[in-house]
Amino acid sequence: MKIYNTLTRKIEDFRPRDEKLVKMYTCGPTVYNYAHLGNLRMYIHEDILEKTLLYLGYNVKRVMNITDVGHLESDADEGEDKMLKGAKRENKTVWEIAAYYTDAFFRDIEKLNIKKPEIVAKATDYIEEYIEFIQGLTEKGYTYFANGNVYFDITKFEDYTKLSGMDLDSLKIASREDVEVDVHKKNPQDFVLWFTKSKFDNQAMKWDSPWGIGYPGWHIECSVISLKNLGEQIDIHCGGVDHIPVHHTNEIAQTESYTGKDWVKYWWHGEFLIDNEGKMSKSKGEFLTLSLLEKKGYNPLSYRYFVLNSHYRKQLAFSFDSLTSAENAYNKLKSRVKYLKDNAEGEVGENSDAYEKYKNDYRACLADDLNTANAITVLYEVIKAEDLNNNEKLSLIEDFEKVLSLDLLKDEEDQLDEDIVRYIEDMIAKRQEAKKNKNYDLADKIRAELLEKGIMLEDTRQGVNWKKIN
């Protein structure tokens, strides 16, 4: 298997420290609101990574943190406290907010067929361990105390920018010029390990500590949770590319200072989901969630299919037109698989040359830095293959589904069979011809007929899309 390593900035052969076990850490959600589609794209790709490792024969121990303690909006120590923001918005306690949105997050990933990590760790369960960690760093001379807060001194850690590849002058604390700079820091990039004083007088989540009543900085939780559950050295640390310059850079500095060892062998980062305004985020008013897609009539697995047709290291542009096209393709794919099930024939020749070829082609796509788009292409080749019988095709699809997880073999009462899909596409073609001949009455009649059958048409610049609405 080959994967891209952000630390070395190249694709490498994947060789875990222990041949028998891959230790994998994935940054989890901050549970102050619903996960948006950009967040969920990352979790889908991480799911594919874990399932690919399992598919290729590795054992995996995966840990995910749940950030249920308030941390600030930027990766640095500035901005508004996210948990407090959520509590004020909904007139609830921060604890109620955390519990509600943690449950909502796991409902979302279940709908997307994302495997729940073996270990899910809430940040608030590790307060004593954070204190122990900070004390260890202090004893080694990496911290200083100023204005009631414990800071990590980045000048004490060599090669602070080895992950980002940026020089310190370029490594801005925050992307917004209006952020107030902390005058108590010795260096602009120093970060807080423990707050007893901050801009929030009514901070709700506080604990006693040797430095006074306060709360941990954000960066500390991933380091400590990883150390406690996976040991001092791990194989893969996952996250979004936005975490490279600050959050993950700070994690490396504090963890390797604490242990004296190289921490993560492979840093694995996913790119942004973007809309017409740029990177998708929660700060744009009404943001896109999985529940919003469901309200609009989309199947959550259509979004998974949409995501898997892109590469995790490339930005993916989202629009409802593109999602509708993906759902149409996904429905047609499921219908073709259903046709194979309804017409199952032949024995499965698992040792046949053709069978092994397709299986090896699929494995090669996944092993090539998780090229899921090419893996789906192999899936379509299997469906169309003339050198396989239907049962062999179904057997391969079942095997491929261990990673794709698109419910292709799942029986659904409202599944559109291939004949219905062909009928819809024929009607769309007739409607297009009618419009071309300026026979708009016929075109409208065809649209109305399809709508009566629960099929809604959408005219876009890229062509006509359709979706099932009941």
The Cα–Cα gap between 115 and 112 comes to 9
How high is the pLDDT of residue 167? 85
Number of CB atoms found within 10 A of residue 170's CB: 10
The angle at the Cα of 67, spanning 63 to 71, to the nearest 5 degrees, equals 140
Residues 261 and 306 in one domain: no
Tally of domains in the chain: 3
| β-bridge mates for residue 61, sequence order | 23
How high is the pLDDT of residue 162? 96
Q: Given the structure tokens 């009404």, which residue do they identify? A: 286
Residues 336 and 400 in one domain: yes
How high is the pLDDT of residue 335? 93
Residues 110 and 65 in one domain: yes
Residues 34 and 137 in one domain: yes
The Cα–Cα gap between 381 and 393 comes to 10
> In this structure, is residue 282 part of a structural domain?
no
> In this structure, is residue 147 part of a structural domain?
yes
How high is the pLDDT of residue 69? 82
> In this structure, is residue 106 part of a structural domain?
yes
Residues 146 and 34 in one domain: yes
Residues 206 and 97 in one domain: yes
Q: What is the dihedral of CA 109, 111, 117, 120, to 10 degrees?
A: 60
Q: β-strands 316-317, 278-279: how paired?
A: unpaired
Residues 163 and 246 in one domain: yes
Comparing C-alpha atoms, which of 187, 117, 113 is closest to residue 154? 187
How high is the pLDDT of residue 75? 44
How high is the pLDDT of residue 130? 98
How high is the pLDDT of residue 73? 41
How high is the pLDDT of residue 452? 84
How high is the pLDDT of residue 82? 61
Task: Please list the ranges in the chain whose pLDDT falls under 70.
Answer: 70-91, 171-181, 199-203, 277-286, 412-419, 462, 470
Residues 237 and 383 in one domain: no
> In this structure, is residue 285 part of a structural domain?
no
Give yes or no for a contact between 223 and 251, defined as CB atoms under 8 angstroms apart. Answer: yes
Residues 443 and 317 in one domain: no
Q: β-strands 273-275, 316-317: how paired?
A: parallel
Structural domain boundaries enclosing 449: 418-468
Residues 222 and 114 in one domain: yes
Q: Examine the fold and report which residue of 209, 237, 270 is the final residue of a domain before the chain moves on.
A: 270
